[in-house]
Amino acid sequence: MSAEETSDELASDCASVLTELVDVAEGAIVSRVLASSSGGNVTLFAFDRGQGLSEHTAPFDALVQVVDGRLNLTIGGAEIAVGPGEIVRMPAGVAHALHAPKPSRMLLTMLREPNPED
Domain ranges of the chain: 2-111
Confirm if 114 and 39 have CB atoms less than 8 A apart. yes
Q: Which CATH superfamily is domain 2-111 in?
A: Jelly Rolls (2.60.120.10)
Cβ 70 vs Cβ 18: under 8 Å? no
Query: Torsions phi, psi of 92, nearest 5?
Result: -55, 140
Give the per-residue pLDDT at 1.
47
Three-state secondary structure string covering 91-118? CCCCCEEEECCCCEEEEEEEECCCCCCC
Query: 76 with 95: CB under 8 angstroms?
Result: yes
What number is the average pLDDT over the span 25-30? 97
Q: In the chain, what percentage of residues exceed pLDDT 70? A: 90
pTM: 0.87
Average pLDDT over residues 90-103: 97
Residue 27 has pLDDT above 80, yes or no: yes
SS3 27: coil
The predicted-structure confidence for 31-57, as pLDDT tens digits, reads as follows: 999 999 889 999 999 999 999 999 999
Does residue 19 sit in helix, strand or coil?
A: helix
Q: Of 57, 90, 61, 85, give the one whose Cα is nearest residue 73.
A: 90
